[in-house]
């Protein structure tokens, strides 16, 4: 077999649900693995959000997968899963702690039947500790991790981040752990369990806010709006333009010097109280007012052009609608149009991981409909005949979503 991508020839059983596990499985699929999305008869939780057509998030996160419906609560469904696990390289799941064990298909069972298996599991809080059995979703992890407390205006309430940051951060960490375990397997011949707690993956993102606390900066509030989380950098904010807002961030002295020239305030380069970043941070409101006065009479595109010419980090604040048609993403080939069996022509993203030696990221197949590949997979990988496949389908206790 010709290996073009790093995971070509590998088999992944993806039991992931919602975003965390499925995103990990998607990344593995873009790296070449054959990914079987193992779904209950009623389908992935996200699939159930709409009954007439696959919801877009499901289509977005399950590219390059095959859907196999198995009722793991029935003995025959469990046995088929175990037969597939004997052939698999990776199992991915993000159930609550203990679910896989109660189903009889947990790590202790799987490692006995397939010692080379890499088992990647992501839960809310990990396999031990006092929070282990707490129910967890992205929003609850945002609350528990401090993300929600660190988000929002200083005089406002704790605010949820718009994206599902905890789900996706955990999914990325899970993918990285699985890849590391596969490398170790090449060296030792043995698989292993990979564990990622959403809670821990989320806390990592609080580096600046944690820095303020660890460094003893007692005057830094929990929430700083669009300013730096530790209130340590100025300018660092969003500023009004004639047609929206821009974000500007001066992380180095050369950025500040260029910003002064753009503002027509070259005298600030020599003015007391502006020489260092800590000094400027003490004048944050004053500096923000100066920059706002400069941006308000200009368009976002004009501000971006001037900032770019001066080598000052900045960007327009784009809407989700603008991002979906962003010319840079278009030029990079990030969006691909696929023909989905039920949605028709649909735009989906490719993997952000670009492996240049293997060629461009490739959409080999759109996200599957529920159970689309069950019969093919069971016949091809396990050799089940048509009568047994028909009996299995008839034994399902829950009516699938169509």
The pair phi, psi for residue 38, each rounded to 5°, is: -85, 115
Q: Which of 14, 44, 89, 167 is catalytic?
A: 167
User: Does the active-site annotation cover 167?
Assistant: yes
State the sign of the Cα–Cα–Cα–Cα dihedral 289, 295, 296, 300.
negative
256-259 own/partner pairs: CB under 8 Å, 24+ apart: 256/280, 258/310, 258/311, 258/312, 259/235, 259/291, 259/310, 259/312
Quote helix, strand, coil % in the chain, to nearest 5.
40, 15, 45
CB atoms within 10 A of CB 140: 17
CB atoms within 10 A of CB 349: 15
CA 153 to CA 387: how far, in whole Å?
62
One-letter-per-residue 3-state SS of 294-357: HHCCCCHHHHHHHHHHCCCCEEECCCHHHHHCCHHHHHHCCEEEEEECCCEEEEEECCCCCCHH
Q: Which helix H or strand E contains 93, and what residues bound it? A: strand 90-93
Contact 124, 199 (CB under 8 A): yes
Provide the terminal-to-terminal Cα distance of the chain, rounded to the nearest Å.
Answer: 37
CA 290 to chain centre: 37
The pair phi, psi for residue 67, each rounded to 5°, is: -95, 125
For residue 202, what are the contacts with CB-CB under 8 A and spacing of at least 6? 141, 142, 145, 146, 147, 165, 166, 169, 170
CA 99 to CA 93: how far, in whole Å?
10
Q: What is the CA radius of gyration of the chain?
A: 25
State the sign of the Cα–Cα–Cα–Cα dihedral 87, 365, 402, 394.
negative
Q: Which helix H or strand E contains 100, and what residues bound it? A: helix 99-103
Q: Residues with catalytic annotation?
A: 167
């Amino acid at each position: 077999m010709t290996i073009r991508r790093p995971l070509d020839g590998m088999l992944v059983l993806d039991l992931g649900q919602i975003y965390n596990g499925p995103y990990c499985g998607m990344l593995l699929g873009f790296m070449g693995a054959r990914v079987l999305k193992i779904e209950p008869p009623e389908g992935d939780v996200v699939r159930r959000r709409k009954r007439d057509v696959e919801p877009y998030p499901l289509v977005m996160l399950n590219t390059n997968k095959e859907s196999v419906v198995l009722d793991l609560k029935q003995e025959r469904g469990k046995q088929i899963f175990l037969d597939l696990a004997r052939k698999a390289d990776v199992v991915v799941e993000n159930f609550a702690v203990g679910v896989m064990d109660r189903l009889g298909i947990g790590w202790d069972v799987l490692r006995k039947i397939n010692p080379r298996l890499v088992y990647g599991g992501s839960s809310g809080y990990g396999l031990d500790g006092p929070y282990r059995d707490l129910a967890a979703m992205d929003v609850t992890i945002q609350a528990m991790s401090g993300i929600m407390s660190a988000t929002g205006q200083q005089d406002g309430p704790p605010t949820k981040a718009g994206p599902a940051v905890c789900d996706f951060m955990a999914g990325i960490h899970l993918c990285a752990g699985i890849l590391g375990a596969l490398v170790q397997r090449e060296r030792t011949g043995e698989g292993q369990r990979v564990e990622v707690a959403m809670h821990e993956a989320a806390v990592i993102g609080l580096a600046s806010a944690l820095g303020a606390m660890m460094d003893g900066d007692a005057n830094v509030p929990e929430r700083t709006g669009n300013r730096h989380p530790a209130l340590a950098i100025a300018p660092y904010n969003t500023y009004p333009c004639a047609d929206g807002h821009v974000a500007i961030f001066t992380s180095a002295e050369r950025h500040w010097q260029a910003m002064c020239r753009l503002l027509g305030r070259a005298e600030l380069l020599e003015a007391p109280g502006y020489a260092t970043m800590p000094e400027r941070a003490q004048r944050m409101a004053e500096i923000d007012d100066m920059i706002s006065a400069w941006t308000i009479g200009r368009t976002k595109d004009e501000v971006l052009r001037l900032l770019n010419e001066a080598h000052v980090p900045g960007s327009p604040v784009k809407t989700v609608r603008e991002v979906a048609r962003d010319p840079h993403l278009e030029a990079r080939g990030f969006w691909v149009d696929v023909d989905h069996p039920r949605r028709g022509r649909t735009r989906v993203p490719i993997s952000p991981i670009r492996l240049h030696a293997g060629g461009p990221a490739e959409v080999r197949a759109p996200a599957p409909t529920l159970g689309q590949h069950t019969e093919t997979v069971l016949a091809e990988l396990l050799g089940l005949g048509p009568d047994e496949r028909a009996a299995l389908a008839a034994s399902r206790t829950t009516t699938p979503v169509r």
